[in-house]
Structure 1
Amino acid sequence: MTGGEIAALIAAGAFAVLVLGLCFVLFKVAGIVSELNTTIEEANKSLSTITKDADHLLIEVEGLLNKSNTTLDDVNGKLGMTDPLFQAVGDLGESVSSLNESTRNLTSHLASASKKGATVGIAKKVGSKVRG
């Protein structure tokens, strides 16, 4: 065998090793791609399930919000009906305050008239009751 034949034989052997290495790498890549496809399919199934669950949950939340809005409208309506009650209580408070002020004024006038020696009928009777 000549030197050129030996070089060709070595080159052919190296090429065969290279091809075998590439085949090994390609088989590994094919396995990884297969696993990746399986993973993507599972992810799509999971995403589909999650989407369906989220849709059902959103429908339930919408129903709950509608009921909450109805209840809130009802409560607001009932609170609106209590406004006259609070107005009446406020008016009553003002009336009691005015009555107290009038009573103080009457008592002070009767007391001062009594000190001045007033002997007028009702003023004298009320004054003696106030002094006790």
Structure 2
Amino acid sequence: MSGGEIAGLIAAGALLILVIFISIFLMRITKVMKNVEKTVDGVNQSLNTVTKDVDVLSSEVEGLLVKSNTLLDDVNGKVANLDPVFKAMGELGTSVSDLNTSSRNLASKITSPKTVRNTMATRVARAVLRKK
């Protein structure tokens, strides 16, 4: 065997080893790609499920918002109707306070010693005039 034949055999062996390593690498890459494909399929299924759930939730939330707006409009209308009632109650409180002040002033005038004397003197004078 000549040097060229030996070099050819070495090159052929190296090429065979290279092909074996490349085929092992490709088999591993194939397994990884299959796992990635399974993972992507699982993610797509999960995403579809989540999308359906979000659609259901969004329709529920929309319904709740409509109901909330209706209730809020109703409450605002009722509060607007109550405003005059509270205003009238405030005015009534002011009137009662004024009446209490006037009653106290009248009571203090009637029960003052000067008023009592005048009243008693008037009664005595009437009684004396009646006896004559």
Query: Offset at 1:102?
Result: 0.7
Partner of 1:128: none
Partner of 1:100: 100
1:32-70 superposed Cα distances (whole Å, 9 cap, x missing partner) = 112212211221121122111101110011001101111
In 2, the alpha carbon distance for the partners of 1:40 and 1:49 equals: 14
Paired residues, what number? 122
In 2, the alpha carbon distance for the partners of 1:6 and 1:52 equals: 68
Q: Residues 43-122 of structure 1: matches in 2 within 5 Å? A: 43-112=43-112, 114=114, 117-119=117-119
Partner of 2:19: 19
Identity, % of aligned positions: 50
* Uncovered stretches (5+) of structure 2, i.e. residues with no partner: 124-132
Q: With structure 1 as the length reference, what TM-score do the two structures score?
A: 0.80
- Which AA in structure 1 matches 2:11? A
Partner of 1:42: 42
1:1-47 superposed Cα distances (whole Å, 9 cap, x missing partner) = 12222122112111100111001101111121122122112211211
Q: With structure 2 as the length reference, what TM-score do the two structures score?
A: 0.80
Query: Offset at 1:115?
Result: 6.0
Secondary structure of the equivalent of 1:82?
helix
In 2, the alpha carbon distance for the partners of 1:114 and 1:86 equals: 43
Query: Offset at 1:113?
Result: 5.8
* Uncovered stretches (5+) of structure 1, i.e. residues with no partner: 126-132
